[in-house]
Amino acid sequence: MKAIKKLILGSAIATLAMSSTALADTTLNALFMSQAAYSEDDIKSMTDKFEAANPGVKVSLEFVPYEALHDKIVAAAGAGDDGYDVVLFDVIWPAEFATRGFLTDVTSRIPADYTDKVFDGAWTTVEYGGKRYGMPWILDTKYLFYNEEMLNEAGISSPPKTWSELADQARQIKAKGLVEYPLVWSWSQSEAMICDFTTLTAANDGAFFNEGQPAFTEGGAKTAVEFMKATLDEGLTNPASREYFEEDVRRVFSNGEAAFALNWTYMNALANDPAESKVAGKVKVAPAPGVEGKSVASSVNGSMGLGIPSNSPHADEAWAYISYITQKDIQDDYAKLSLPIWKASYSEPKVIEGQEDLIAAAKESISVMYPRPLVPSYTEVSDILQKNIHEVLLGQTGVDEALDAAAARVERIR
């Protein structure tokens, strides 16, 4: 009898041990990007904290360039259990991912009180058709960075409030010979250029679509492209901008070869880091300017969220990880390269300290964040705009001709 009891107890313990090893075996595959926002080191460190707090779960991290992120998520959707459990996705994809069923609907997992605690612009990142497909994580927009020393040397006392003021200041700086090209942008044929274009369109009160029809052929969007081209023609914009990505902008600006640059949050910390920059300490940040009579400031919604692919077999563990690294405390601790999604964070001393101007700019920029078109065919719309605007910037076609061609092509999308 005793032997039997022992046996039962023994097998019970064995079962228990086995189930706990099953949990310990859970390894989450997570996909992140290796440029802008949080650095790889930051993400590794957050993940270590999560693993320490959740002994059952391991997270295997994969970092890819932003340009490869979309394709990786799509390709892994067909990988069954071997795909990703957590993916970082851009604000421009939820429409497409939701209609194709790539991401798990997590609306019911998000506590109701979060809705008011997190910025609306951040929620836009994960929402489509009234449902939420993840948790916002990176709340980002493009800010205007300026080299304060150069502005002072040119006799300019405060950064520009409008884009035409910015052009004037750039002219003064160029005239004084302080730098050959005062402006640098990420205008390669890529999404990076569309972000700058969107910022300028927002400033000019333009629109991409009007009742489903292309509306970028006139008004603010057209003015935006004309402005871009004019700064090139006048020699205010570095002509190499037409092949630059964000990292090139950061490098040129950090080398002291530009007075103004439009870039994401992460440049603030790096351009002020003496190990990364020759102009450390001289870099200030402000909201991207507005246009008189149309806007006070301008900003593109460049946020990103974390979601669970629908083929993940570990949705619960994945959600635990997402909840952990998107929580306020963690975001507040890593607020140098990417700013938190939580409203309350912007009055936390540890978030504000040492980056007062960034936080001040963020408060203004976040309130005017402008979305890129939230349509399922966004990727294709963007490709079309990239190509046609690039032709204008390279002097191959006129603004009207290029935007009309883009509109005709957008209407051809199947």
Partner 1 sequence: MFGRRRKQEKWILLAPAILVLALITLTPLANTFWLSFTDTRISALPTPVRFIGLENYIYAFTDPEFRDSIYRTLYFTIVSVGLEGILGVAVAVLLNQKFRGQLILRALIILPWAVPTIVNAVAWRLIYHPDYGALNSLLFQLGFISDYRSWIGDPSTAMNMVILADVWKNFPLVAYVALAALQTVPGDLNKAAAIEGAGPWKRFWSITLPWIAGPLMVVMVLRTIEAFRVFDIIYVMTGGGPADSTKTASFFVYQEYFNYLRSGSGASYAVLVAGISAVLILFYYSNAKRQASGATA
How many other β-carbons are positioned within 10 Å of the β-carbon of residue 377?
15
How many other β-carbons are positioned within 10 Å of the β-carbon of residue 167?
20
Find the shortest distance in angstroms from Cβ 74 to partner 1.
6
65 belongs to the binding site for partner 1 (CB under 8 A):
no
243 belongs to the binding site for partner 1 (CB under 8 A):
yes
* DSSP per-residue string spanning 153-213: HTT--S--SBHHHHHHHHHHHHHTTS-S--EE---SSSHHHHHHHHHHHHHTT--SEETTE
Find the shortest distance in angstroms from Cβ 96 to partner 1.
7
Determine the residue type at 54.
N
Find the shortest distance in angstroms from Cβ 39 to partner 1.
21
Nearer Cβ to partner 1, position 244 or 260? 244
Phi-psi sector, 183: left (phi>0), alpha (psi -120 to 50), beta: beta
Sole binder of partner 1 in the list 44, 49, 58, 70 (CB under 8 A): 70
Is the distance from CB of 259 to CB of 269 less than 8 angstroms? no
Find the shortest distance in angstroms from Cβ 356 to partner 1.
32
390 belongs to the binding site for partner 1 (CB under 8 A):
yes
Instruction: Return the SS3 of 269.
Output: helix
394 belongs to the binding site for partner 1 (CB under 8 A):
yes
Find the shortest distance in angstroms from Cβ 183 to partner 1.
15
Is the distance from CB of 190 to CB of 181 less than 8 angstroms? no
Among 304, 302, 308, CA closest to 321: 308
Nearer Cβ to partner 1, position 201 or 311? 311
131 belongs to the binding site for partner 1 (CB under 8 A):
no
- Contact letters for partner 1, residues 274-313 (x by CB under 8 A): ------------------------------------xx--
315 belongs to the binding site for partner 1 (CB under 8 A):
no
Find the shortest distance in angstroms from Cβ 227 to partner 1.
19
Instruction: Give the residue ranges of DSSP H helices in 338-398.
Output: 349-352, 356-367, 378-393
Nearer Cβ to partner 1, position 78 or 349? 78
Backbone torsions φ then ψ of 283, nearest 5 degrees: -90, 125
Is the distance from CB of 285 to CB of 143 less than 8 angstroms? yes
379 belongs to the binding site for partner 1 (CB under 8 A):
yes
242 belongs to the binding site for partner 1 (CB under 8 A):
yes
Sole binder of partner 1 in the list 53, 75, 79, 408 (CB under 8 A): 75
Residues near partner 1 (CB under 8 A): 67, 70-71, 74-75, 77-78, 96, 100-102, 188-190, 239-240, 242-243, 252, 310-311, 377, 379-380, 383, 387, 390-391, 394, 396, 414
